[in-house]
Amino acid sequence: MKIAIPVDEKSLESNVCVSFGRAPCFLIYDTETKESVFLDNSAAANKGGAGIKAAQIIVDNEAGTLLTPRCGENAANVLKLAGIKIYKTRDISVKKNIDDLSSGRLSLLDEIHPGFHGRGGN
C-alpha cells in the first residue's frame, strides 16, 4: 500500500508539514517495498485551489492512504471520490506516523475544514 504524507523536506527525517495543499513536497511511501519517493507539490504556490491540485497529485501517484494533520473540504472531496483514506497525524515525525499507522494507532481525520478560499490576497 502506498501512503502519502505532506512533508517540509525531501527526507524521511523531515517533519510532517502543517498544511496539505500548501506543503512544499509529498512523501509517497510504499509499505510493502519500503520505498520512499519524494514529489514536489506544484500546487504549493498556486493562487487558489491548491488543495484540489495537491489531491490530484496524490491520486495520480496511486496512494491509497493520506496521513495529514489537516485537510480542506475541496481536497477531501477529490480524495473521497478516488477512495483514498485520510488519517490524522499524531506526531510531527514522518517515521513515527508511518509506524503508528501500521500499528493501528492513527484514526481517520474527521474534521475537514472549509478551506481558506480567497483569504490572504484576492
Using CB under 8 A, list all residues that contact other proteins.
43, 46-50, 52-53, 55-56, 59, 74, 77-78, 81-83, 117-118, 121-122
In whole angstroms, the minimum distance from the beta carbon of 75 to other proteins comes to 9
In whole angstroms, the minimum distance from the beta carbon of 53 to other proteins comes to 4
In whole angstroms, the minimum distance from the beta carbon of 95 to other proteins comes to 30
**C-alpha cell of residue 67:** 496521513
HSE, CB side, 13 Å, CA atoms: give it for residue 61.
24
Q: Compare residues 9 and 48 and give the one whose CB is closer to other proteins.
A: 48
Sign of CA dihedral 62, 70, 100, 38: positive
Q: Compare residues 42 and 107 and give the one whose CB is closer to other proteins.
A: 42
